[in-house]
Chains A and B, each alone.
Chain A
Amino acid sequence: MATKRDDDDILTGSIPAPEDEATPAERAHAKTFADLVDKTLAGRTPPAMSADDRALLEVATVIRAAAGNAELGAAKRSSLVEGALRQAIGGKAQPSGDVTPIAKARAKRAPWIVAGSSLAVAAAAVVLWLGAPRKVHVIDHAPAALQDNWKSRPADPLIGPISRDHAGDASARLDTIFADRLDGYRELRMRGGH
């Protein structure tokens, strides 16, 4: 029977007999470890612990999982179910650890929907503005009679009599007519007519 117990040395320390009564230190240690196990199962694992406690904690976790009575938290369970449902309807499967609740996903898309809607409304407004009928004031009566050189008119005064020697010079005559009418057309345009 061991008289000196070293609970911090589980590998090389003495092993107490089954009928030995637990010492206060052992009870305190057991209570601390029990609290640690409870917190771990509740998902609140302490960030730092001794190497022996971590080893014991892992063993306890394995034993509990092997017993088959482990239950997932409500949030984790809900995420897994939603992930499975999403995959069933053709959605992209997500790792179970990264499953996002549908409500949360909708919340993430909401800004995009709002932005897209705003963009579409703005585009519609621009299109409507572009298509809005412009106020066109049409003055039916020209303010003044057209100058002669702005009118479409016979080319006789410009060309004059066509002698037999130049009867074949139709190209040159047309060049003359075109140049003259172009002058008139430009003047007409410059004055603001259409």
Chain B
Amino acid sequence: MKLLTFTVFAALVACGSCTDKTEKTEGAGSSVTHVTEPSDAIDQKLMVALSQAKNFHHKAKVYMSDGDTAAAIASVREILSLRFPPNAPEAEDVRNDARALLARLLVGQGQLDEAMNVVKEGLGSSRESFFTANLYTVKGEIHEARAQQLDATDKTKATEERHAAIESFDASNKIDKKLQDQLLEQK
């Protein structure tokens, strides 16, 4: 009986001691070869994040078709909090597209200041892309909406907002043209 107890104990100790090993290696027995991929390779984390963003967009579309704008806004905001792999360019593009949509929804709700904050957040640290160009377009639309609100009360400020809208549309066009030229050169 003592022998049996000792043997079982030894087996448990052996099992416990090999736990760390299995965490550092994979599986058992056989020999495998892993090729490390460059850090810019498409990986599972990126695909999962894109898939989640896709689902939130579809969810938002359903809410919008139901007229539930508040729920649609909440769903689009979820995209902004998704965790993408660090330095993945797709992350910035997807977030900026979501910001553009979110800002438009907020404009529809009359929340112009909040919409402007969302847009500025996207423009703050982004590289130039068709998505940032789209953000400038949305920014111009927000300025337009502000101008319409100010028309009745403050003509001067309304004019300033219209000028700001034109500047935003110009900035959008400028980025679009620059990027299209670059793409043509690459081809």
Contact = CB atoms under 8 A, between A and B. Distances in A.
Interface residues of A, number: 56
B129 A154 contact: yes
B36 A159 contact: no
B25 to A, nearest CB: 4
A135 B32 contact: yes
Contacts of A133: 21, 24-25
Interface residues of B, number: 67
Given A132-B18, A154-B93, A170 B100 contact: yes
Interface stretch (B112-120, B132-140, B155-163): B132-140
Contact of A132 (B21, B40, B98, B138): B21
Contact of A177 (B3, B21, B44, B94): B94
B33 interface: yes
Interface string B1-33: 101100110110011001101101111111111
A167 interface: yes
Contacts of A168: 101, 104
B31 A167 contact: no
Contact of A131 (B22, B58, B130, B183): B22
B37 interface: yes
A3 interface: no
A124 B7 CA distance: 9
Which 7 pairs across A and B sit closest by C-beta, in order of nearness? A131-B18, A124-B11, A171-B57, A135-B31, A120-B7, A162-B134, A154-B89
